[in-house]
């Protein structure tokens, strides 16, 4: 038995060691699986920026907005979930693709936006790009005898195109309807029969590459406006190398502090958790690298949250083990019972958060998808490492002779807390904070013009392309250009991107009037000896479009509904679900109040922070509710106050330890990070504290209030009517 445990431990050490090596160094010349091979987003690594101009003069706002929306869907479909699409000036569309270094390759992948027409045998235009909903390259699993070509395009038309296409196909059975792109026929498929539902397939593509190219042309040709490429550049990161380096350094220091804390507080179980956490961290890096997932600031938020949840899973397990040891059970029995009792809470909390991440991924766009991806990966890996790897390591430690019960922790006598009795105090504190934050919004709206401090991503602004005729690093731009731009425009948080190999810099600021543009132009000309011809300014629309904002709100609403349904089914009591969702909304409003009061910029980081709070809050609440559900079995019938207070008392140390470890990760990021990172870390720290507070002092007492009212209603119903 001891020999088997030694072999198990050695195998785990070898596997984890190999995993860490791959995560650090990668495999092969391309460093596959390594940290250096992780694809970074625009904010962390830059990419390719392409500017298109419309062929049509004076396009309408609707046409431009629809075009932006369709290109956004297009780049999402290509896997560039962290790309940005926004309007520039009155007739331009800008597309930024992250982590790309070859503008021509990106242009080829996107396809050249042009004029798409379906032309009948008589030369008449049957359909245009406006009638196309989607086109997808496919491979059939069932190929007819004599036909070795399984590749085809699945074509779907919108409502405007269905009837027109039905009439055209009914009239031209056996004939060709050509698909023309920019006046050239790219395909001439034969009509086999009338197509009434607007769904058709174009067969005999020859290869998947050709099918994808043709489908790409159809999709990009289906844009409301015909576009021409104006310019394409390789640009630097908006946050810069310093932000990346400090974030990595902060992550390493934060993780090291957590590992140290776990050993000091939990001893042998803490050591097992540390080994599992190192394995977890390496696996996440390997998965991000292998699957080419783009990592941005929201993605880092998802990883931070999943690290916290990985620690939380271990803390729940260890708390249960300590309780079992306190009952004078054997070490082996305590380990087994501890994992068994902790599994339900871990699964419920993580599955609830997985539901949220799935909804966010399916419904969201851009940074929302990136956050959902990294969060889902982190949750799945953290459950595996906590429930499988930690268990194997602890079992191996016990099996090789490390059996001193004190090394596994003995729980101290639980101090009885009276939380429910002061519920009105807790509710009042939250209401006051939220109301103060919300009241600040109309005050700021009247004094500063906006209720919140909307950054460029939300409100749009002005982009200025400056030809400096010299290359500048991100650090040089921040130090040299920030005071010039701030003084000229009164914008305290401008963004800078260097254009690779062209000696140009892109400056993004809040919206500038003619006076501010002129002042900026004069300041730049005086500083660098350039002329007005070297400076070009255009207005830009928000990179976080109204559709993206709408999808984020809808995603959170749907996620809340799905979580409510899951919690109700699992706990067999809808009051648990309602209380959890109220606590979630409480945390969202608390963080919003912080953004309002401290005028923290509302940008991509805002979305990341809010989504992180949603995931963290619901997980923390579910763990506490799991203990309430369990304790109800042992309490006197109707003693809901006792069930809540006892559960809070039993889980208080777990709540504090989990919050502390997650808080430390973000706090180190705040201390070491650049200004933009601190703007992201501050609301996260508030959200972590709020999530812990709401689980203990809002969700649980609220469940008690609901249960007490139900009990009172039942008692009144049982009383005889007079």
What are 552-583's pLDDT values in tens digits? Answer: 778 778 888 888 888 888 888 899 999 998 99
Per the listing, tokens 């069930």 go with 643
What is the structure's pLDDT at 625?
A: 92
Q: Which two tokens stand for residue 507?
A: 């400056």
Q: Which two tokens stand for residue 399?
A: 């099996």
For the segment 430-440, the average pLDDT, to the nearest whole number, is 93
Cα separation, 700 vs 642, whole angstroms: 11
For the segment 242-253, the average pLDDT, to the nearest whole number, is 76
What is the structure's pLDDT at 254?
A: 84
Lowest-confidence segment of 77-86, 210-219, 327-336, 341-350 by average pLDDT: 77-86
For the segment 67-83, the average pLDDT, to the nearest whole number, is 75
529-535 own/partner pairs: CB under 8 Å, 24+ apart: 530/466, 530/467, 530/468, 530/469, 534/466, 534/467, 534/468, 534/469, 535/464, 535/465, 535/466, 535/467
Q: Is the pLDDT of residue 274 over 90?
A: yes
Phi and psi (nearest 5°) for 542? Answer: -60, 140
For the segment 15-39, the average pLDDT, to the nearest whole number, is 90
CA angle 322-579-362, nearest 5°?
A: 95
- Domain-wise residue ranges, the chain: 8-26+242-408, 47-112+230-235, 116-222, 421-437+547-716, 461-540
What is the structure's pLDDT at 177?
A: 92
For the segment 93-111, the average pLDDT, to the nearest whole number, is 79
Q: Which two tokens stand for residue 578?
A: 């309602």
Higher pLDDT, 676 or 636: 636
Locate all alpha helices (DSSP H) within 364-467, ordered by sequence.
367-384, 390-399, 423-448, 456-459
Cα separation, 354 vs 276, whole angstroms: 21
Beta-bridge partners for 536: 465
> Could you give the percent of the chain with pLDDT greater than 70?
93
Tell which residue, 120, 149, 125, has the closest CA to residue 137.
Answer: 149
427-434 own/partner pairs: CB under 8 Å, 24+ apart: 427/698, 427/701, 429/697, 430/586, 430/590, 430/693, 430/694, 430/697, 430/698, 433/590, 433/593, 434/586, 434/589, 434/590, 434/593
Higher pLDDT, 461 or 110: 461
Cα separation, 301 vs 604, whole angstroms: 11
Domains 421-437+547-716 and 461-540 equal at CATH topology level? no
For the segment 105-122, the average pLDDT, to the nearest whole number, is 77
Q: Is the pLDDT of residue 57 over 60?
A: yes
Distance from CA of residue 414 to its chain's centroid?
38
Cα separation, 168 vs 172, whole angstroms: 6
What is the structure's pLDDT at 466?
A: 92
What is the structure's pLDDT at 85?
A: 87
Pick one of 3.30.1400, 3.90.1570, 2.60.98, 3.30.70 as the CATH number of 461-540.
3.30.70
Report the mean per-residue pLDDT for the chain: 85
What is the structure's pLDDT at 147?
A: 58
Sign of torsion, CA 645 269 338 346? positive
C-beta neighbour count of 576 within 10 angstroms: 25
Q: Which two tokens stand for residue 8?
A: 């198990």
Pick one of 1.20.1640.10, 1.10.645.10, 3.30.465.10, 1.10.3720.10 as the CATH number of 8-26+242-408.
1.20.1640.10
Tell which residue, 526, 435, 544, 451, has the closest CA to residue 488.
Answer: 526
Tell which residue, 601, 454, 680, 540, has the closest CA to residue 49.
Answer: 540
| Cβ within 8 Å of residue 663, ≥6 positions away | 685, 688, 689
Please answer whether residues 201 and 190 qualify as being in contact, where contact means their C-beta atoms are separated by less than 8 angstroms: no
pTM of the model: 0.74
Distance from CA of residue 411 to its chain's centroid?
38
Cα separation, 551 vs 369, whole angstroms: 11
Instruction: Rank 84-98, 101-115, 707-721 by mean pLDDT and report only the highest.
Output: 84-98
Please answer whether residues 36 and 48 qualify as being in contact, where contact means their C-beta atoms are separated by less than 8 angstroms: no
Cα separation, 232 vs 706, whole angstroms: 59
Cα separation, 93 vs 90, whole angstroms: 9
Provide the terminal-to-terminal Cα distance of the chain, rounded to the nearest Å.
73
> Per CATH, which fold does 116-222 belong to?
Gyrase A; domain 2 (3.30.1360)
What is the structure's pLDDT at 547?
A: 65
If you ran DSSP here, which 8-state letter would residue 633 be given?
T
Pick one of 1.20.1640.10, 3.40.50.2000, 3.60.150.10, 1.20.1440.130 as the CATH number of 421-437+547-716.
1.20.1640.10
Q: Tell me the per-residue pLDDT of 653-671, one tens digit each, with 9 for 90 and over.
A: 888 888 888 888 888 888 8
Lowest-confidence segment of 114-123, 369-378, 422-431, 586-595 by average pLDDT: 369-378
pLDDT band at 413 (very low <50, low <70, confident <90, very high): low
Q: Which two tokens stand for residue 55?
A: 């062929």
Burial of 718: CB neighbours in 10 Å, binned 0-12, 13-18, 19+: exposed
Q: Which two tokens stand for residue 381?
A: 């890996």
- Given this structure, which CATH class describes domain 47-112+230-235? alpha beta
Q: Is the pLDDT of residue 432 over 90?
A: yes
Higher pLDDT, 88 or 72: 88
Cα separation, 704 vs 639, whole angstroms: 10
Distance from CA of residue 22 to its chain's centroid?
25
Beta-bridge partners for 138: 152
* DSSP class per residue in 278-315: HHHHHHHHHHHHHTT--B-HHHHHHHHHHHHHHHHHHH
What is the structure's pLDDT at 114?
A: 65
């Amino acid at each position: 038995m001891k020999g088997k445990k030694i072999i198990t431990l050695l195998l785990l050490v070898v596997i984890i060691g190999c995993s860490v090596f791959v995560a650090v160094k990668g495999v092969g010349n391309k460093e596959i699986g390594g940290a250096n091979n992780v694809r970074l987003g625009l904010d962390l690594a830059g990419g390719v920026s392409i500017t298109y101009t419309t062929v049509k003069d004076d396009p309408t706002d609707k046409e431009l907005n629809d075009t932006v929306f369709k290109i956004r869907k297009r780049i999402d479909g290509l896997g560039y979930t962290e790309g940005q699409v926004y309007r520039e000036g009155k007739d331009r569309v800008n597309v930024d693709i992250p982590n790309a270094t070859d503008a021509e390759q990106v242009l080829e992948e996107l396809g050249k936006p042009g004029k798409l027409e379906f032309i009948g045998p008589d030369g008449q235009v049957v359909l245009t790009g406006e009638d196309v909903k989607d086109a997808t390259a496919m491979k059939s699993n069932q190929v007819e005898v004599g036909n070795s070509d399984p590749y085809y395009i699945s074509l779907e038309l919108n409502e405007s195109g269905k009837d027109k296409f039905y009439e055209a196909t009914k009239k031209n059975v056996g004939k060709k309807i050509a698909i023309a792109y920019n006046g050239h026929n790219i395909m001439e498929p034969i009509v086999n029969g009338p197509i009434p539902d607007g769904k058709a397939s174009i067969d005999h593509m020859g290869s998947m590459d050709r099918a994808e190219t043709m489908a790409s042309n159809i999709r990009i040709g289906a844009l409301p406006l015909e576009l021409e490429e104006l310019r394409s550049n390789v640009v630097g990161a908006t946050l810069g190398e310093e932000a990346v380096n400090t974030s990595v350094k902060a992550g390493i220091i934060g993780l090291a502090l957590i590992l140290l804390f776990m050993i000091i507080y939990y001893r042998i179980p803490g050591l097992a958790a540390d080994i599992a956490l190192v394995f977890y961290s390496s696996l996440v890096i390997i998965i991000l690298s292998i699957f080419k997932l783009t990592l941005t600031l929201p993605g880092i938020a998802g990883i931070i949250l999943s690290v916290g949840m990985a620690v939380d899973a271990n803390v729940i397990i260890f708390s249960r083990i300590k309780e079992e040891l306190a009952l004078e059970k054997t070490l082996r029995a305590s380990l087994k019972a501890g994992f068994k009792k902790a599994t339900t809470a871990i699964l419920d909390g993580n599955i609830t958060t997985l539901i949220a991440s799935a909804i966010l991924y399916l419904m969201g766009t851009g940074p929302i998808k990136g956050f959902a991806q990294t969060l889902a990966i982190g949750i799945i890996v953290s459950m595996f490492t906590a429930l499988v790897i930690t268990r194997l390591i602890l079992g191996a430690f016990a099996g090789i002779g490390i059996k001193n019960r004190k090394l596994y922790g003995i729980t101290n006598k639980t101090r009885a807390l009276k939380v429910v009795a002061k519920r009105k105090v807790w509710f009042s504190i939250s209401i006051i904070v939220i109301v103060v934050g919300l009241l600040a919004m109309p005050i700021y709206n009247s004094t500063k013009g906006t209720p919140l401090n909307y950054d460029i991503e939300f409100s749009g602004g002005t982009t200025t392309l400056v030809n400096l005729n010299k290359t500048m690093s991100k650090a040089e731009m921040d130090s040299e250009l920030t005071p010039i731009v701030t003084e000229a425009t009164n914008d305290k948080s401008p963004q800078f991107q260097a254009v690779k190999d062209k000696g140009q810099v892109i400056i993004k600021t809040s919206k500038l009037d003619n006076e501010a543009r002129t002042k900026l132009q004069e300041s730049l000309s005086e500083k660098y000896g350039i002329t007005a011809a070297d400076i070009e300014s255009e207005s830009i629309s928000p990179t976080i479009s109204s559709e993206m904002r709408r999808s984020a709100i809808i995603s959170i609403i749907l996620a809340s509904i799905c979580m409510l349904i899951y919690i109700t089914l699992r706990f067999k009591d809808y009051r648990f679900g309602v209380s959890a969702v109220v606590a979630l909304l409480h945390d969202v409003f608390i963080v919003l109040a912080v953004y309002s009061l401290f005028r923290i910029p509302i940008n991509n980081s805002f979305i990341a922070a809010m989504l992180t709070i949603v995931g963290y809050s619901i997980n923390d609440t579910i763990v506490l509710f799991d203990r309430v559900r369990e304790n109800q079995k042992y309490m006197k019938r109707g003693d809901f106050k006792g069930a809540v207070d006892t559960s809070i008392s039993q889980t208080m140390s777990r709540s504090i330890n989990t919050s502390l470890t997650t808080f430390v990760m973000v706090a180190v990021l705040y201390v070491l990070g650049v200004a933009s990172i601190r703007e992201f870390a501050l609301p996260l720290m508030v959200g972590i504290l709020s999530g812990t507070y709401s689980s203990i002092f809002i969700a649980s007492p609220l469940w008690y209030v609901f249960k007490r009212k139900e009990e009172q209603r039942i008692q009144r119903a049982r009383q005889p009517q007079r």
